[in-house]
Amino acid sequence: MISREPTLERLATAQSLMLEPFGLDEAVLSRALATIREHRVDDADLYFQTTRHEGWSLEEGIVKSGSFSIDQGVGVRAVAGEKTAFAYSDDLSEAALMDAARTVRTIAAAGQTRRVRVPAKTKVSASRSLYGPTDPIGSLDSAQKVALLERVERMARAKDPRIVQVMAGVAAEHDVVLVARADGTRAADVRPLVRVSVTVIAEQNGRREVGSGGGGGRFGLGAFSDDILASYVDHAVKAALTNLESRPAPAGAMTVVLGPGWPGVLLHEAVGHGLEGDFNRKGSSVFAGRIGQRVAAKGVTVLDDGTLPDRRGSLNVDDEGHASQRNVLIEDGILKGYIQDSLNARLMGVKPTGNGRRESYAHVPMPRMTNTYMLGGQRSRDEIVASIERGLYATNFGGGQVDITSGKFVFSASEAFWVEKGKILYPVKGATIIGNGPEALKRVTMIGNDMELDTGVGVCGKDGQSVPVGVGQPTLRIEGLTVGGTA
């Protein structure tokens, strides 16, 4: 059997789903792009998308909800200087496409009509092969999906008699995109995405606490083996039981040690957003104009990497048709670059970094993170915790927020421990960690050799758009963070 190169295979899949059934072909795409470019524009593209999503939830052994949805449409964009004109439609007919093209053409000033030379030949964008074109919705039937959730519930209840309630969910998505750019570039991607979540409630002596776990990535539901599900359950149950023993958190300025993996969400929020190109082009980020300068302690290296196989934040191509990249943002404490989409890269005189992302065809792309993480160092986790004279060891986080302009952040620790003289004394509850992103990076004094990525649960919000992302880091010791407690 002869198979096509994966990039061409993805293009063929996208065309068969979103062009051919609606009488669209390459001639129509070229005509729509030529219509947009009748006025002066720096860039233009068409973004076709079809998405199927399914979700199931189980509580008290009963299927509480099930959902299935299909959404498809096209976004049409023209860019001139800093201005963007955008229109979208859930109608994939030629008439709707041409109407959208004429609408965005008005971005140019009146009277700037010009002749346009349409590229004679299209070219296929370079891309990766980071995950298979699996349809995760079809990877298990409905009965198997419910059985998966029932298995999760049984595992959780068997862990400890104090577990009094279990809620489990499974979600699967099959996303196909096609990008047609004004320069003749064509790109497509077929993106599977799955996630299993579990939340438990533990009760002891009238006190109730919650713990959660889960994970996923760009693969089929069959990848969730009993061992993987057990790890999610263990995490949720451990968190709930730990918090049953928690005491009020002390407050004040102190040493804070962050655990590996998901605590990298603090790095994502407090530093990652500040390295996105739009904030730096506009001068609103604390990192603006600082490339080549020291912004973190020696040993701190931060990457945004969309090329990790099967990871939740990875992409074969971004939503502008550029291949994903492994971008070094901070190297040994020195700022090396920003995360870029095509608009901000052009205005800043650099190349796109494969980070042009959008929530759907109904949204404009912008520079967004993929998988953002810090590389590991030389110290063991036990060594770092043992070095704490008096401070907090935070192993899991809930919500948080950051001010991009000032770099100030506030995060709530959902699982944390009080440490004195190198010994973990007891779990604490209600701890919030307050600091400044760039300053916190400069106060990193120990970096663990245990870098972990999160299990695949991250969702990033920006300007009203949500996209799947990954985070990660090793164990880190940071000096002089402010802990807001309840003691």
* Residue 408 backbone dihedrals phi, psi, to 5 degrees: -75, 140
114: β partners? none
Quickly state the pLDDT bin for 3 (edges 50, 70, 90). low
Whether the CB-CB separation of 347 and 80 falls below 8 Å is answered with: no
* Residue 187 backbone dihedrals phi, psi, to 5 degrees: -145, 155
Residue 357 pLDDT: 98
Q: Look up residue 361 and give its amino acid.
A: Y
- Average pLDDT on 235-258 reads 96
Q: What are the E-state strand segments in 261-325?
A: 302-305
| Nearest-angstrom CA–CA distance, 209 and 214 | 17
Residue 401 pLDDT: 81
pLDDT tens for each residue of 70-128? 999 999 999 999 999 999 999 999 999 999 999 998 765 444 444 444 455 678 988 89
The sign of the dihedral angle between the CA atoms of 96, 190, 303, 379 is positive
pLDDT value at 486 more than 80: no
Instruction: Supply the mean pLDDT for the chain.
Output: 93
pLDDT value at 277 more than 90: yes
Q: Look up residue 140 and give its amino acid.
A: L
How many residues are listed for the chain in this entry? 487
pLDDT tens for each residue of 183-192? 999 999 999 9
Residue 487 pLDDT: 58
Residue position matching structure tokens 């704490």:
388
